[in-house]
Amino acid sequence: MSISKQELIKTLQKYQPKKIGFIDKLKISYRPMVCPFDDLLDIIPEHESIFDIGCGSGMFLSLVATYKNPEKVYGIEIDDKLIENAKKIFKNINVPSEFKKYNGNILPQEINSFKYITLIDVLHHIPKYNQIIFLKNIFDMMNEESILIIKDIDRKNPLHYWNKIHDMVFSGEIGSEPNSVELQNELTNMGFKEITKSYRTMLLYPHFTLICQK
Ligand SMILES: C[S@@+](CC[C@H](N)C(=O)[O-])C[C@H]1O[C@@H](n2cnc3c(N)ncnc32)[C@H](O)[C@@H]1O
């Protein structure tokens, strides 16, 4: 059975760094209300190592560390402040971890030693014209048989406008949500062997998840 949202929120609150801004606090604690972390955790097996691209303040990785006994977690982000938050959170978590700022483009070579790579609500923050190049770059760096889990908001569903309002309020930007069907075709053409898709609407956010095996 999936871990309840309430329990995930409690865990995130337990690790929350003391000295962070009000908005960051809200974003960290209540993320499981607007993002299906419970479903994503169900996909991750025990004792695996996870590489999270656009890890934010390390929220998903802290949940993986709490519930999945991973060998190691590794997060990369374009935002210094969020990397600092993630490092603070992991001071209280006894799992080997590494967090690095990167330029949003050139991925660390170590990605090829991870079987599970996650990209959670990052794609819609990348300009549309760059999304496929960004994914191809990940694909090229991935090891054979490894798995990329993409969770994003589906442009195919008119409710994706709700996410635009959310991003405008919390990030001051308008996202480029991908269309899940077009994206799946692009990923197949790119060379992913097997892709499993699922949908879930939570609090009006139309989510899709693609589990893509190289
Ligand atoms: C909605 S947040 C999601 C954070 C985290 N993945 C989560 O699910 O809680 C989007 C994140 O993507 C990051 N981001 C934006 N462009 C990126 C890029 N090119 N590479 C990696 N991360 C990026 C932002 O800094 C932000 O932390």
pLDDT digits (tens, 9 = 90+) for 171-195: 788 889 999 999 999 999 999 999 9
How would CATH label the architecture of 5-100+110-213?
A: 3-Layer(aba) Sandwich (3.40)
Check pLDDT > 90 for residue 137: yes
Check pLDDT > 90 for residue 5: yes
Centroid of ligand 1 to alpha carbon of 63 (angstroms): 17
Check pLDDT > 90 for residue 115: yes
Straight-line distance from the first to the last Cα atom of the chain, in angstroms, rounded to the nearest whole number: 28
Q: What is the mean pLDDT of residues 11-22?
A: 86
Higher pLDDT, 22 or 201: 201
Beta bridge mates, 34: none
| Model confidence, pTM | 0.95
Centroid of ligand 1 to alpha carbon of 125 (angstroms): 7
Centroid of ligand 1 to alpha carbon of 36 (angstroms): 16
Residue 204's alpha-carbon distances to 40, 116, 166, in angstroms, are: 18, 28, 11
Q: Which residue CA neighbors atom 24 of ligand 1 most closely?
A: 54
pLDDT digits (tens, 9 = 90+) for 44-53: 999 999 999 9
State residue 19's pLDDT score. 79
Determine the Cα–Cα distance for residues 113 and 109; give it in Å rounded to an integer.
8
Using most ligand atoms within 8 A of CB, pick from 28, 85, 125, 166 the residue to mutate for ligand 1: 125
Domain ranges of the chain: 5-100+110-213
Centroid of ligand 1 to alpha carbon of 196 (angstroms): 23
| 97 CB burial (10 A radius; 0-12, 13-18, 19+) | buried
List, chain by chain if needed, residues with CB within 6 Å of any ligand 1 atom.
Answer: 31, 35, 53-56, 59-60, 77-79, 82, 104, 120-122, 125-126
Centroid of ligand 1 to alpha carbon of 4 (angstroms): 24
Using most ligand atoms within 8 A of CB, pick from 27, 55, 122, 130 the residue to mutate for ligand 1: 122
Start-end of H helices in 16-143: 22-29, 31-34, 37-43, 59-67, 80-90, 128-141
Determine the Cα–Cα distance for residues 118 and 146; give it in Å rounded to an integer.
11
pLDDT digits (tens, 9 = 90+) for 157-176: 888 888 888 888 887 888 89
Return the ligand 1 atom nearest residue 167 CA: 1
Check pLDDT > 90 for residue 128: yes
Determine the Cα–Cα distance for residues 87 and 17; give it in Å rounded to an integer.
10
